[in-house]
Structure 1
Amino acid sequence: MVVGKLILEFDTAILLMFVSIMTTAIYVFYYGFSWKELFEEGTVPLAAKAMGAMIILITVGPLIAIWMISGTIPYLMYAGLKTLSPKIFLVAATIICSIASLLTGTSWGTAATFGVALMGVAYGLGVPLPAAAGAIVVGAYLGDKISPVSDTTVLAAALAEVDVLDHVKSMLYTTMPGYLISLIVYGLVGLKAGGNIDWSKVNVILQALEQNFNLSPITLIPPILLLILAYKKYPTIPVLWVAILAAIPIAMWQGYDIATIVKVMAKGPSINTGVEAVDKMLNRGGISFMASAMAVVFFAYIFAGQLERSGSISKIIEYLQTKFIKGSVARLIFATSLTGILTGLGTGNSYLSEIMPATMFRDLFDKMKIKRTVLSRTLEDSGTVVVPLIPWSAAGIYMTTVLGVPTIQYLPWAIMCYLGFITAWIYGYTGIAIWKEE
């Protein structure tokens, strides 16, 4: 997968299909597994665990589409172009997405709403799109990592059997250094940007938006509702449904009838502003828009289910536990982290990348008298925020689809996402913030 995706640049869905064919052949004809066993006991249970993510994938398509034609995303783009500059864009985009994700606890929802709008602003200001996408991913995953209303935050605390707030306090030790370094890098890059905006391009975009939409604060009702309901800890999927329904009357106010709105939510908008670049930014969304991402996720779970059912992943982890750690705290942290990363690479699933190392090393943390909050934060440092950097993972595919930038291109700019586990390794070997049980 690494060679096929990163070097040969194969299509992810087809690559995963061929990898699944190869692994199936090896497991069936060499190791003696049956196809029924691999599928019914491996792929199906794993896909069932990911059904929530799949429903979000399907729902986000219509959400983006309806927010486009209702003027919500165009208004956010318009406001951003009026107020932001290349010098502060990366820092501002990170902070805006951070606030949204901390309130809602969802990286996917943040990227699909504020992230999509900010990508349009980045284009208008001439900010490199990979850098913009990286900044958005960092902001979106800050909340996914430390917000008390985030599912992965709650999961990590539950797996380690610690209080959520104690887990969040522990997370700050490894998260904030990477986050602050990200902001410093974005600030330094912004200073070198020169600040010379091509106002002719910006004015063309502003004019196109003004002529085709009623740009009013009324269009912000759906995102405000989304933030409030998510902050009140309502489930993500119903919150997205409310955000869609709230945008329908606003889309009608923009001049669309119900039949057209439904069609747009299925197939995506067809907005013609007369400016090709603006049309390309606005004509996004719909169920068909997410179809390729869903195909990749399905193939990924065929492959990942086989890896789990056959014991391939657990065999690697068992080796790490018995042959590598040998009573060393530093090696325990490293092995826990590496297990999360390997699980993410193998399965592309952020939940499994937390569940696997927690299950394998939880008792060893107790045996070595290390507080469970160290375990819980390591699960997120090496699971939650690493998965969006993997091109064939559900999160990587999702971010690429909604932001329009390949995972490999935004990866170097998503600084916090890889500094987290590096910081955890440094702490493990230096003893910093490695608390012992009394």
Structure 2
Amino acid sequence: MKENKPEIHVPFFLAIIPLIVMVAVMAVTIIKFEGSPHIPLLVGTVVSAFIAWRLGYKWDVIEEGAYKGIRLALPAILIIITIGMIIGAWIGGGIIATMIYYGLKMITPSLFLASICAICAVVTLAIGSSWSTMGTIGVAGMGIGISMGIPAPMVAGAIISGSYFGDKMSPLSDTTNLAAGITGTDLFDHIKHMIYTTIPGLAIAFIVYIFLGRGFSSSSMDAGEIGHILTALQENFVISPWLFLVPVLVIILVAKKMPALPALFIGVFMGWICYIFVQDGSIADAVNTLQGGYSIKTGNAMVDELFNRGGIDDMMYTVSLTIVAMTFGGVMEQTGMLKSIVAQILKLARTGKSLIVTTIFSSFFTNATASEQYISILLPGRMYLKAYRDKKLHSKNLSRALEDGGTITSVFVPWNTCGVFIFSTLAVHPVDYAPYAVMNYAVPIIAILMALFGIKVEYLSETKVKELEIKEAQKNTTA
């Protein structure tokens, strides 16, 4: 029989030490040595494991925490690997080239940022996956924007804003369902309640992108450079509007509720077929592209930079960082350190309004410490549910706060699974795109202000509170 995890209280001052050490080592490693976040996260893991061991946790319990963290990330890792293959297959199959070619011909530079944000929002709303959108439409959008002379961080920020709007508001999104499920909120009540913070956030983002786009008018474009890019694409790829059928098919499959992974695999296969039968590539090259990425020399530096990428190998940095980050988060949660930190933060919430603000900050804090978007919803969601009930707050206040503070802020943490995925997919560092991911920081600010002023903060009636208490009692009796 497996031994249960012992209930050992970790004092706040000890629980916070691994985080302080990790952040300090991270700052030195990245700022001074220009290294990667892997080692700082491992150092934080070692420190947290040592403290837990000294407090009485057995090694097998600590080790199981690390494995739990990694297991939680396995779906994300599979998506990351698949996106690597889809990028390679779609570049080799001419799909990305076709999207960039027609994008350069059709989209006005001054409206590009707003347009790509809207396109990503609509696609993600339909399919429910921001990662799938960024790994397909987003990659093409980066190529179009950069070719127009728009800075990569601006383009990435617009793609992220649109993708996370759709992810947050789609009934097909896993995080949206998770936030509603963990708090016991009706899914569509949860989505309706998010409208009040998310729609204004997207509107602000559109205004900013339209303003920024004014600096990239058609007259400021280097027509000669655009012409060279179009020529290079035509010389090296078969460009055909029929190739749009591949991304359209993937979008339709996911919209029809096919899980993201098999839908993306179909996208990989279709891109692979296009590589062989449309672009006249060899089967050997098509297979090798899925592993090592696409390789091309066109003589145009910008085209070469855009198209020499993809494949499983290109995603291994992201996979390794995800594993290391989730090891740290898993140990911190398994040993009760995250619970101790969040419980201390909860003491600051004396009113219903301050509880909502505390939840938003706690979700972002969990993103930074546990390195995983799902934990930023699960941990505060579990811990604060009773506090919301005690203050007679409707559970949809909690579910919205979890999304406002957790789902969309994960992109700002370089070692969070979302941050590393975006860096590997769009090739822009979180520090660089952060100022331009407007919706992702506008929504938490709006949510905090609305909570402080009591706007759209909904309370439960005494009758409803008693009904919930009776249901809870019946549930516990049955269990």
- The residue that corresponds to 2:474 in the other structure is none
Larger radius of gyration: 2
Superposed counterparts of 1:273-284, under 5 Å: 273-284=298-309
- Deviation, 1:36, is 2.8
Superposed counterparts of 1:200-349, under 5 Å: 200-252=224-276, 253-321=278-346, 323-326=347-350, 328-349=351-372
Note if 1:182 corresponds to 2:205: yes
Of 152, 159, 166 in structure 1, the residue corresponding to residue 175 of structure 2 is 152
Superposed counterparts of 1:83-232, under 5 Å: 83-195=106-218, 196-232=220-256
Q: For the residues of structure 2 that align with 1:14 and 1:316, how far apart are their CA atoms?
A: 23
- Deviation, 1:260, is 1.3
- The residue that corresponds to 2:69 in the other structure is 46
- Deviation, 1:421, is 1.6
Give the RMSD, CA atoms, in angstroms: 1.5
Residue 55 of structure 2 aligns to a residue whose secondary structure is: coil
TM-score by length of structure 2 reads 0.88
- Deviation, 1:32, is 4.2
Between 187-196 and 157-166, report the one with greater CA deviation.
187-196
- Deviation, 1:204, is 0.9
Post-superposition Cα deviations, 1:3-48, rounded to whole Å, max 9, x if no partner, equal: 52564443122332333334334443x43434332112x1111221
- The residue that corresponds to 2:409 in the other structure is 386
Please say if residues 117 and 161 of structure 2, whose CA atoms lie closer than 8 Å, have aligned partners that are also in contact.
Answer: yes
Q: For the residues of structure 1 that align with 2:231 and 2:275, how far apart are their CA atoms?
A: 20
- The residue that corresponds to 1:17 in the other structure is 42
Please say if residues 123 and 251 of structure 2, whose CA atoms lie closer than 8 Å, have aligned partners that are also in contact.
Answer: yes
Please say if residues 147 and 302 of structure 2, whose CA atoms lie closer than 8 Å, have aligned partners that are also in contact.
Answer: no
Superposed counterparts of 1:363-382, under 5 Å: 363-382=386-405
Which amino acid in 2 is paired with 1:199?
Answer: A
Structure 2: segments with no counterpart, 5+ residues: 1-21, 462-479
- Deviation, 1:132, is 0.7
TM-score by length of structure 1 reads 0.96
- Deviation, 1:357, is 1.2
Please say if residues 221 and 246 of structure 1, whose CA atoms lie closer than 8 Å, have aligned partners that are also in contact.
Answer: no
Aligned residues, how many?
434
- Identity over aligned residues, as a percent? 35
Please say if residues 145 and 155 of structure 2, whose CA atoms lie closer than 8 Å, have aligned partners that are also in contact.
Answer: yes
Q: For the residues of structure 2 that align with 1:239 and 1:300, how far apart are their CA atoms?
A: 27
Please say if residues 158 and 436 of structure 2, whose CA atoms lie closer than 8 Å, have aligned partners that are also in contact.
Answer: yes
Post-superposition Cα deviations, 1:207-238, rounded to whole Å, max 9, x if no partner, equal: 00011111112211221111101111111111
Of 421, 436, 457 in structure 2, the residue corresponding to residue 398 of structure 1 is 421
Q: For the residues of structure 1 that align with 2:254 and 2:217, how far apart are their CA atoms?
A: 38
Note if 1:430 corresponds to 2:449: no
Post-superposition Cα deviations, 1:219-271, rounded to whole Å, max 9, x if no partner, equal: 11221111101111111111111111122221112111222111110000112
Q: For the residues of structure 2 that align with 1:391 and 1:93, how far apart are their CA atoms?
A: 23
Which amino acid in 1 is paired with 2:287?
Answer: V
Which amino acid in 1 is paired with 2:261?
Answer: I
Post-superposition Cα deviations, 1:179-228, rounded to whole Å, max 9, x if no partner, equal: 11011011111123354101111111110001111111221122111110
